[in-house]
Homo-oligomer: A and B are copies of this chain.
Amino acid sequence: MLLSGSHVTKDTRMIHSRRSSLPTAHDVARLAGVSQSAVSRAFTEGASISAKTRARVAAVADQLGYRPNILARSLTKQSSNVIGVVFGHFDNPFFTLALDCFVDVLSHRGLRTLLFTAGTNASADAQVAELLSYRVSAVILMAVNLSSTLAAECARSNIPVVMFNRTTGEEHAAFTVTGDNAAGAAAIASRFLATGRRRIAFMAGYDDSSTSHQREAAFFAALACAGMAEPRRVAGNYTRIGAIEATRGLFASATERPDALFCANDFMAIAAIETMRTEFGLVPGRHCAVAGFDDIPMAAWPSFLLTTYSQPVDLMVARAVAFIDGEAGGARDVMVQGELILRSTA
């Protein structure tokens, strides 16, 4: 009898429900001699239950390996504890850092992250529609856009939408968290002018990006204000290859080469630095000043030592999460201050 392995296995399984899946609150209730309600209450903070029953339930639950089914809980609670994140730029460390930070901060609040990806400069409509059917508690869009119709649909369902590092033309379509694009661009313009740069160029991100637009506008305005002619403009589309090609375009003709270049983010600026060095033999900071935006960790690496304007990721993430928590005090658009970080490229 002791050798009847299949019998033993079956017995063990029968402790749980019939399909060898995870045990339910009913299983625990039966074994603990209480009602299913009691089991539910034992796992609910502050529920009406005596310490004794809670302990008994906990013991049995432990024995069976019971954990409440969050799907079922979400169904009755009408809230899922899940935050949908739509993500686009895995190649840019600024965003992977922010994602890391988001997952971490959210998890400390008992919130989970359901991750979606959007094509680089596409709108996140498809992903957000999908997120709606997961009944997420909130949506975070990291550098992706959203149509106003879908934003309205989220609003109608009381699902807050936070746009991270992006703004939208629409009024109050979503919460927004951004760095100080205007101040940063202006600070970099000042730096270029103060260090005697005169043939200034700008490398844009991609067209649908509000950050690129705002940085460009403020940069151009600051230069115009100082009486400079309009700078040369190339587009790197926030990609490495785009930035490399844009840099080649800028320096192709040996005459009229720029002596200063502001790239709309660090990721492109680093590509520009490398291209200037290896393809044109230029020394960034001497032959041509280079500045970026974000202050990603890589900007401080000795290979680059990039001058840039910082976007404090931790703080931006904290602000975004405050929106979700409804702790933003009525604000809908938050701008986080950064600072000019001078290194050796400008």
A-to-B contact residues, CB < 8 Å? 19-22, 65, 67-72, 74-75, 78, 80, 82, 85, 87, 90-91, 93, 96-97, 99-100, 103-104, 107, 112-117, 129-130, 132-135, 153, 156-158, 274-275, 277-278, 297, 301-304
Q: List 16 A-B contacts (CB under 8 A).
A: A22-B157, A65-B156, A67-B129, A69-B135, A70-B135, A71-B80, A71-B135, A103-B117, A107-B116, A112-B115, A112-B130, A113-B116, A114-B115, A274-B301, A303-B303, A303-B304
Cβ of A156: which chain B residues have Cβ within 8 Å of it? 20, 65
Cβ of A22: which chain B residues have Cβ within 8 Å of it? 132, 135, 157
Q: In the complex, A274→B107 CA distance in Å?
A: 35
Q: In the complex, A156→B14 CA distance in Å?
A: 12
Cβ of A74: which chain B residues have Cβ within 8 Å of it? 71
Q: In the complex, A218→B184 CA distance in Å?
A: 50
Which of B21, B69, B104 touches A117 (beta carbons < 8 Å)? B104
The answer to whether B69 and A133 touch across the interface, beta carbons within 8 angstroms, is yes
The answer to whether A65 and B153 touch across the interface, beta carbons within 8 angstroms, is yes
Q: Which 5 A-B pairs have the closest CB atoms?
A: A90-B100, A67-B133, A278-B302, A113-B115, A96-B96
Which of B82, B100, B158 touches A21 (beta carbons < 8 Å)? B158
Q: How many copies does the complex hold?
A: 2
Q: In the complex, A341→B22 CA distance in Å?
A: 47
The answer to whether A71 and B134 touch across the interface, beta carbons within 8 angstroms, is yes
Q: In the complex, A153→B62 CA distance in Å?
A: 12
The answer to whether B70 and A134 touch across the interface, beta carbons within 8 angstroms, is yes
Q: In the complex, A275→B301 CA distance in Å?
A: 10
Q: In the complex, A153→B63 CA distance in Å?
A: 12
Q: In the complex, A107→B118 CA distance in Å?
A: 11
Max chain B Cβ within 10 angstroms of own Cβ: one of A132, A274, A302? A302
Cβ of A302: which chain B residues have Cβ within 8 Å of it? 274-275, 277-278
